[in-house]
Amino acid sequence: HQTSNIEHQTSNIKHQTSNIKLYIIRLSDLPLATYEGGIPEFSATHPRSIGKKRLDVRTPASKAYRKHLSDKQDQLTAFMKKNINPLLNPIYKYEVVFNGMALRLTPGEAAEIAKLPEVVSVHQDRPRRMMTDTSPAFINANAIWDGSGTCGQPGTKGEGIIVGIIDSGIWPEHPSFADDGSYPPPPVKWGGKCTPPADGTKGYSCNNKLIGIQYFLKAYLANKGDNYDGLFHSGRDDNGHGTHISATAAGNENVPATIYGIDRGMVSGMAPRAHIASYKATGPGGGVTSDLLAAIDKAVADGVDVINYSIGNEFASDPWKDPDAQAFLAAREAGVFVVVSAGNNGPDMSTIGSPANAPWVTTVGASYFNRLFLSDIEIQNSESEIRNFYGASPTRGISDFNLVDTEGIADVKGDTSGYCLNPFPTGTFRSTDAVLCKRGEIATAVKGNFVQDGGAGAILLYNDENSYDLSSFPYPIPSVLVLYEKGLEIKEFIAQSTQPPTIRFTQGEPFFSPDPRVPVDTVLGLSSRGPAITESSPDSLLNIVKPINIIKPDLTAPGIHLLSAASPEWVDTIHGEIGRLGNQGEFFQIIQGTSMSSPVVAGLGALLKSLHPDWTPSEIQSALTITAVSQDHKARDASGDHPATPFDLGGGRVDVSRATRAGFVLHESTENFRAADPSE
């Protein structure tokens, strides 16, 4: 009835036609997951208020309250169309973990809507960025599978658990998601679906392993105006990020992996018998919160047990006001264990952004585990002097190529910086040239394409001053990457040679600790650090930073040289083409980042949920965090490796076998999280 009163307060608002942006409107009624009653006609739907462990959207009470929310949203929409702008139509309506809607508005319209009594807040939508063969044995997942680490309980591989992946989609035909006929149907609580592509191009199907594929791109397309290719205007993954993450969390067990024609053994997800539900909510240029919020809302309604969210923002907005952070608070109350990547903005303090800074999500940093793919490098100059190095390589090696420094050589735009930022003209290099490029400014794998355009047959990269890890990328030609200091040595060696030196490097092979080149249990330099903060504005000139006295991340997991599934076709975001950048046609890749460490924990959460179905998300988080391993762990930054602090690694590196033996677990309530708002 409040909407009828609004009409007396606002009228004849002039519509401005310029500067339209995406906004998320939050309304005053509680969403389905946290509604504890209070409206006489509607019973409580909050699970704990009615003695349940998780939300059930199919009960009569849930259906009635959702209709109530939807009807009030429709009333508000009708009022706004009459009094603000007749063309206003919600892109999305949210009811399950967030009560509100997404709209395209001018700033003036947003300001008027913010004054309405049913409106709690109006947020301008902000872009979100996408931020795995992790040996299961390293974190003792195999001890949960076979029952040797479950304290007498039967082993589990995640049977009956649904893992929801909100990301860039999935490659449905990948063997990591195949159903060999041994999977049972999804649990009866499952309410999701397999949404076909928008235009029917290259359709796909789901099975009892990959039980759901849905996509949420309305706001992305409205905001960016992209002409999205028919193949990918669907739940199909356009860059491999979501496919890699899905397989890391819950991909099939013992899937043969080959990259660049090299047999890399078998890969398994952390919870290999769990069901996977994919929610695509990002496009080639990233994502927007409106779409992501719709995916969160639908995933919880569908009945997922775990959500992985390897997505975020460098900007640390207030989690007590941020829409997706608030949605995750309600999702937690609905019984869903939410895992969020810490971000790749380390190693400086307080670099964790949103929604990873929210205390109610499990925030995961990235650390080295006990294996790297390394290559031995030998460079010989014209005076027969030899220098030996090592670097990271996922590819085959080369023998007796000429080593050419690209600094001073112009690309098609005349840049001679040595960063290899643009394609080089055809014929710049020979097929027997290995060219030296500096890392930074653009995606590293793209540099391989640009030197290949110029004719080069291999690439040697070295870190820039702000990169500290031996990373691996999907290059199209033989490649190896060395640390910054070694790159400077190589540059000097080239400069001192009267003729181009020759270079050979070996095929990248797995090396394991205690090899001193493998810094096991060291937090990656790129992994974002705590403590958590909030910021007032993305504009650094106006930004007010406030500490919120929260230790983040919560823990770390393996996050470098992770071998997992990939999409064999993906979109070139620079040229708008398919099959242009990186190494196309590969079904597996070796990459790194907190995006890759987060699904490790999501998969382990699925194992714990299968083993302890009575545990709440808080109890799963506490079991993993208080049993994590931290003794003698290091953290990497510009000065090298130093003893890690809780702001580097939280509780420590995850060990799921220890988590099953936790002496106690802790539950925390939504009420207490809300009461901890430092602005109150």
Residue 44, both tokens: 């409580």
Catalytic pick among 341, 471, 595, 597 = 595
What's the CATH number of domain 128-369+520-675, 3.40.190.10, 3.40.50.2300, 3.40.50.200, 3.30.559.10? 3.40.50.200
pLDDT(658) > 90: yes
pLDDT(572) > 80: no
Residues with Cβ within 8 Å of residue 216, at least 6 apart in sequence: 92, 279, 280, 281, 291, 292, 294, 295, 298
With tokens 């965090």, the residue in question is: 625
Which one, of 219, 280, 203, 200, lies nearest residue 245 by Cα?
A: 280
Catalytic pick among 29, 56, 133, 167 = 167
Q: What is the pLDDT of residue 203?
A: 84
DSSP string, 1-38: -HHHHHTTT---PPPP-SS-EEEEEEESSPPGGG----
With tokens 């931020």, the residue in question is: 131
Q: What is the pLDDT of residue 315?
A: 84
Say if residue 519 is preceded by a cis peptide, omega within 30 of 0.
no
pLDDT(293) > 60: yes
Q: Break the chain into its structural domains and give their ranges.
A: 2-124, 128-369+520-675, 371-512
Same fold, 128-369+520-675 and 371-512: no
Q: What is the pLDDT of residue 546?
A: 85
Q: What is the pLDDT of residue 17?
A: 45
Residue 248, both tokens: 């890391």
Residues with Cβ within 8 Å of residue 340, at least 6 apart in sequence: 309, 310, 311, 312, 328, 355, 356, 358, 361, 362, 363, 364, 598
Number of H helices, E strands in the chain: 15, 34
**CATH 3.40.50.2300 is held by the domain 371-512:** no
Q: What is the pLDDT of residue 258?
A: 93
Q: What is the pLDDT of residue 396?
A: 95
**From CA 97, how far away is CA 94, in angstroms rounded?**
7
Question: Does 554 participate in catalysis according to the annotation?
Answer: no
Catalytic pick among 123, 174, 233, 241 = 241
Question: Does 167 participate in catalysis according to the annotation?
Answer: yes
Q: What is the pLDDT of residue 583?
A: 65
Q: Which residues lie across from 643 on neighbouring strands?
A: 634
Between residues 61 and 240, the one the model is more confident about: 61
What is the model's pTM?
A: 0.92
Sign, CA dihedral 21-26-27-33, equals positive
Using 50, 70 and 90 to split pLDDT, how confident is the model at 638?
A: confident
Q: What is the pLDDT of residue 227?
A: 62
Which one, of 154, 140, 145, 155, lies nearest residue 657 by Cα?
A: 140
Using 50, 70 and 90 to split pLDDT, how confident is the model at 185?
A: very high
Question: Does 595 participate in catalysis according to the annotation?
Answer: yes
Q: Which tens digits make up the pLDDT trace of 412-440?
A: 999 999 999 999 999 999 999 999 999 98
Q: Which tens digits make up the pLDDT trace of 494-518?
A: 999 989 999 999 999 999 999 999 9
pLDDT(301) > 70: yes
Under DSSP, is residue 530 helix (H, G, I), strand (E, B) or coil? coil
Q: How many CB atoms lie within 10 A of CB 138?
A: 20
Q: Which tens digits make up the pLDDT trace of 115-142?
A: 999 999 999 988 787 764 446 778 889 8
Using 50, 70 and 90 to split pLDDT, how confident is the model at 11?
A: very low
| Least confident piece of the model among 4-13, 48-57, 512-521, 652-661 | 4-13
DSSP string, 213-257: EEE--HHHHHHH-----TTTSSSB-SSSHHHHHHHHHHPPSSEEE
Q: What is the pLDDT of residue 574?
A: 54
Q: What is the pLDDT of residue 539?
A: 59
Average pLDDT over residues 287-311: 97
Q: Which tens digits make up the pLDDT trace of 586-617?
A: 899 998 999 999 999 999 999 999 999 999 99
Q: Which tens digits make up the pLDDT trace of 320-340?
A: 999 999 999 999 999 999 999
pLDDT(653) > 70: yes
Rg (C-alpha) for the chain, rounded Å, is 26
With tokens 């690439």, the residue in question is: 459
